[in-house]
Amino acid sequence: MDTDSLVLAHLDLVDRCARRFRGWGEPHDDLVQAGRLGLLHAARRYDAARGVPFAAYAVPMVLGEIRHHLRDRSGVLRRPRGAPRPAVEQLEEGWTVDPAPPAAYEQVELRLVLLPALALLPDQERTVLLLRFLDGLTQDAVADRLGVSQAHISRLQARALARLRRRLGRSPDEPPRAEVGPSARSAA
CATH number of the domain encompassing residue 160: 1.10.10.10
pTM above the 0.85 mark? no
Q: Are residues 37 and 63 in the same domain?
A: yes
Residue 184 belongs to what H/E stretch?
helix 182-187
Domains held by the chain: number = 2
Q: Say whether 114 sits in a helix, a strand or coil.
A: helix
98 found inside a domain: no
Structural domain ending residue among the three candidates 92, 113, 129: 92
111 found inside a domain: yes
Q: Give, for all 188 residues of the chain, the pLDDT tens digit.
A: 788 888 899 999 999 999 988 877 788 898 999 999 999 999 999 988 998 899 999 999 999 998 888 887 765 555 555 655 555 454 445 444 454 455 666 666 666 777 788 888 999 999 998 899 888 899 999 999 999 999 999 999 999 999 988 887 754 455 554 444 444 444 44
9 found inside a domain: yes
Sequence-ordered alpha helix ranges (H) in 114-177: 115-119, 123-129, 139-146, 150-167
In whole angstroms, what is the distance from residue 181 CA to residue 86 CA?
19
Domain extent at residue 63: 3-92
Structural domain ending residue among the three candidates 92, 114, 137: 92
87 found inside a domain: yes
Q: Are residues 75 and 132 in the same domain?
A: no
Q: Are residues 8 and 86 in the same domain?
A: yes
